[in-house]
């Protein structure tokens, strides 16, 4: 079977390396910029790839919205299946891709968008053959987990740790997508779509860890808690809700003990209970592995279909909980949680996000975490 790789960066190289060791799959074309085409398989002419009738699958690992969106649509409309690792473009154009795949009778695979090498998307789909998935949550971003884990282990503060993550290649020069929760937001949209069959809104509370300090971590440690950045969602009684937010988890939880840049994702179903999956959340070979697993699933006849048309209302009340705020002024109804920190009980993720936004007007360094 012949496949084409779009984008020959970290992930594209991983796919190429893994496929080279497999029988029966061949990387026939690699799309890259003209000045990077250094071997016979490489081309900068996407039309020539689409015109090759032997190419069954196009593996998009370019990242970003354009030209990835256009290239994916062109592949689907040309009757080729698509395997993508691009969470941003899937979160933005999920329905368009799913409908084009259906209309053209071709496959759309998205395992590598969420959870890196963890078989997360396929596991949700498998669980749903029996159970309704009622909730999910997860550490879905290796960069922020590395930062938080490193701060806890070395005692360094946020800026210093971010700089170290950048040196090691774990964080981008512009770290905003990671530390402000944008990456987790995209993965949360994708997870909710697959868990709940819903056209997940992009308008939900998202808070990152940019303002997390060593003092915050020490405060939570005194309460036997560890802060991590998580995406989560719940569906119940015809409604659903999702959020991305720092959570202060019990030190004895599995989530609190996820090291370095690993991911841990959880689903819950009626008969299976809680299932958790742990592995490398990013990287050349783990993400490449997830894409090649999709290729092998295609070869073995798996044809996932994504239908986001379930009629669930977005109801913020489903995600009510207790929040700690480190702010200059105590929020209304708050009780003391520690030096300069306040506990507000029984509010929604949305109300908490609004409280934080207001607090940031007086103090842009304010921080908040959900107590779980």
Known catalytic residues are 187
In this chain, which of 7, 14, 181, 304 binds a copy of itself, going by CB under 8 A? 14
In this chain, which of 18, 88, 107, 318 binds a copy of itself, going by CB under 8 A? 18
Q: Which stretch binds a copy of itself (CB under 8 A): 42-50, 168-176, 202-210, 267-275?
A: 267-275
In this chain, which of 35, 173, 237, 271 binds a copy of itself, going by CB under 8 A? 271
Distance CA 114, CA 122 (A): 11
Count of residues engaged in binding a copy of itself, rule: CB under 8 A: 39
Judged by CB under 8 A, does residue 258 bind a copy of itself?
yes
Judged by CB under 8 A, does residue 145 bind a copy of itself?
no
For strand 335-338 and strand 313-314, is the pairing parallel, antiparallel, or unpaired? unpaired
In this chain, which of 81, 286, 316, 331 binds a copy of itself, going by CB under 8 A? 286
The least CB distance from residue 254 to a copy of itself, in Å, is 5
The CA radius of gyration of the chain, in Å to the nearest whole number, is: 21
Judged by CB under 8 A, does residue 280 bind a copy of itself?
yes
CB 60 within 8 A of CB 71: yes
For 106, the token pair is 């071709």
Residue ranges in 201-255 assigned as alpha helix (H): 214-222
* 3-state SS, residue 300: coil
The least CB distance from residue 250 to a copy of itself, in Å, is 9
The least CB distance from residue 302 to a copy of itself, in Å, is 8
Q: Which stretch binds a copy of itself (CB under 8 A): 58-66, 67-75, 279-287, 310-318?
A: 279-287
What would the DSSP string read from start to end of 74-113?
Answer: HHHHTT-EEEE--HHHHHHHHHHHHHHHHHTT--EE-GGG
* 3-state SS, residue 365: coil
For 363, the token pair is 């103090």
The least CB distance from residue 83 to a copy of itself, in Å, is 14
Of 15, 2, 6, the residue nearest 284 (C-alpha)? 15
CB 326 within 8 A of CB 208: no
* 3-state SS, residue 239: strand
Binding positions for a copy of itself, 108-127, rule CB under 8 A: 117-119, 123, 126
**DSSP 8-state secondary structure symbol assigned to residue 165:** H
Binding positions for a copy of itself, 67-86, rule CB under 8 A: none
In this chain, which of 288, 304, 316, 331 binds a copy of itself, going by CB under 8 A? 288
CB 14 within 8 A of CB 5: no
Judged by CB under 8 A, does residue 128 bind a copy of itself?
no
For 155, the token pair is 């005692």
Judged by CB under 8 A, does residue 24 bind a copy of itself?
no
Comparison of 36 and 126: residue with beta carbon closer to a copy of itself:
126
Of 116, 318, 150, the residue nearest 227 (C-alpha)? 150
Q: Which stretch binds a copy of itself (CB under 8 A): 56-64, 135-143, 255-263, 325-333?
A: 255-263
Residues contributing to the site for a copy of itself (CB under 8 A): 14, 17-18, 22, 117-119, 123, 126, 129-131, 252-254, 256-259, 262, 270-280, 285-286, 288-289, 292-293, 296, 301
């Amino acid at each position: 079977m012949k496949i084409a790789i779009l984008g020959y960066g970290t992930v594209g190289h991983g796919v190429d390396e893994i496929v080279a060791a497999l029988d029966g799959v061949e990387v026939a074309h690699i799309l890259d910029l003209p000045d990077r085409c250094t071997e016979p398989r490489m081309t900068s002419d996407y039309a020539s790839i689409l015109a090759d009738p032997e190419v069954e699958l196009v593996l998009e690992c370019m990242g970003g919205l354009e030209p990835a969106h256009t290239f994916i649509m062109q592949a689907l409309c040309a009757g080729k299946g698509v395997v993508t690792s691009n969470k941003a473009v899937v979160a933005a154009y999920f329905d368009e891709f799913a409908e084009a795949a259906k209309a053209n009778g071709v496959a759309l695979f998205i395992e590598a968008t969420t959870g890196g090498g963890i078989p997360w998307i396929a596991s949700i789909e498998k669980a749903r053959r029996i159970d309704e998935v009622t909730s999910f949550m997860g550490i879905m971003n290796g960069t922020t987990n590395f930062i938080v884990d490193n701060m806890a282990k070395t005692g360094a503060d946020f800026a210093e740790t971010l700089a170290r993550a950048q040196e090691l290649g774990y964080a981008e020069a512009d770290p905003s997508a990671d530390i402000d929760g944008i990456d987790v937001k995209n993965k949360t949209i994708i997870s909710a779509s697959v868990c709940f069959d819903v056209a997940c809104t992009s308008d939900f509370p998202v808070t990152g860890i940019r303002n997390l300090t060593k003092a915050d971590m020490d405060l939570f440690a005194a309460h036997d808690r560890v802060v991590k950045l998580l995406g989560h969602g719940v569906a119940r009684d015809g409604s659903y809700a999702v959020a991305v937010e720092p959570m202060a988890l019990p030190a004895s939880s599995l989530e609190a003990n996820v090291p370095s840049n690993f991911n841990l994702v959880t689903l819950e179903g009626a008969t299976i209970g809680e299932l958790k999956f742990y592995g490398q959340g990013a990287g050349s070979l783990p993400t490449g592995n997830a894409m090649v697993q999709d290729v092998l699933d295609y070869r073995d006849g798996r044809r996932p279909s994504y239908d986001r048309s379930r009629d669930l209302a977005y109801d913020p009340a489903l995600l009510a909980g207790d929040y700690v705020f480190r702010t200059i002024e105590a929020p209304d109804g708050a009780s003391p949680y520690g030096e300069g920190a306040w506990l507000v009980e029984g509010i929604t993720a949305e109300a908490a996000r609004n409280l934080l936004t207001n607090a940031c007007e007086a103090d842009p360094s304010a921080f908040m975490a959900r107590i779980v």
